[in-house]
Structure 1
Amino acid sequence: MKQILTAAAIAGLLASGAAFADAGADLAKTKNCLACHAVDKKVVGPAYKDVAAKYKADKGAEAKLIDKIKKGGSGVWGNVPMPPNPQVNDAEAKQLVQWVLSQK
């Protein structure tokens, strides 16, 4: 019985991680982030896995990136600016950043 409960708990954790990944990817599609970004390659902006690697050890990364999504910015990844995204609310920006930072 203990093994069954352990297996069920592990399956639940794996499913919630998959749901988080799907929700982040779905939100990125909905908010048109994928017009300029991709998970694993540079498009106009950097690949999300490159963003995650760059900010891996930065404890303030989440706040910085939420701000960048909302207000836009330039100079970090080259000369092409990232425009502001007023269609993304604070909760969505946080969800997107957490998803981006989870990329490997």
Structure 2
Amino acid sequence: MRSLLLSASLLALASGSAHAVDAAAAIELAKANGCLSCHSSQEKIVGPSYASVAAKYKDDKDAVASLAQSIQNGSKGKWGRIPMPPHPSMNAADIKTLAQWIMATH
């Protein structure tokens, strides 16, 4: 986990200010909200890796908003048969932080 945190932090710094996020805070949000039970940085677990998500949406100017909507409301069929559960109790700022982190650091 330490190498994931270091990699995420370095990539966040290298990605520029347009998508600058606090990687350590985003990782803590992901841990606290169960995201890492289904997702990892580079490997598919139950859901896709964050790298796969970022690659899929890399040319989408609305990627952060699309990801935020999927985090908030859940999704079905985007990555196979297993749906992503909604996270209605997460606040909008935390959801946006996670979406920005996924796009900026993977």
Higher relative contact order (CA 8 A, sep 6+): 2
Structural mapping, 1:49-88, within 5 Å: 49-88=51-90
- RMSD of aligned residue pairs (Cα, Å): 1.9
Structural mapping, 1:1-104, within 5 Å: 17=13, 20-104=22-106
TM-score (norm 2): 0.78
For 1:80 and 1:103, locate their aligned partners in 2 and report how far apart those are by CA, in whole Å: 25
TM-score (norm 1): 0.79
For 2:49 and 2:105, locate their aligned partners in 1 and report how far apart those are by CA, in whole Å: 10
Which 4+ runs in 1 deviate beyond 3 A?
Answer: 16-19
Percent sequence identity is 48
Q: Which amino acid letter does the alignment assign opposite residue 56 of structure 1?
A: K
Which consecutive unaligned segments of at least 5 residues does structure 1 have?
1-13
> Cα deviation per residue 1:11-42 (whole Å; 9 max; x = unaligned)?
xxx7x839712111111111111011111100
Structure number, greater radius of gyration:
1
Which consecutive unaligned segments of at least 5 residues does structure 2 have?
1-9, 15-20
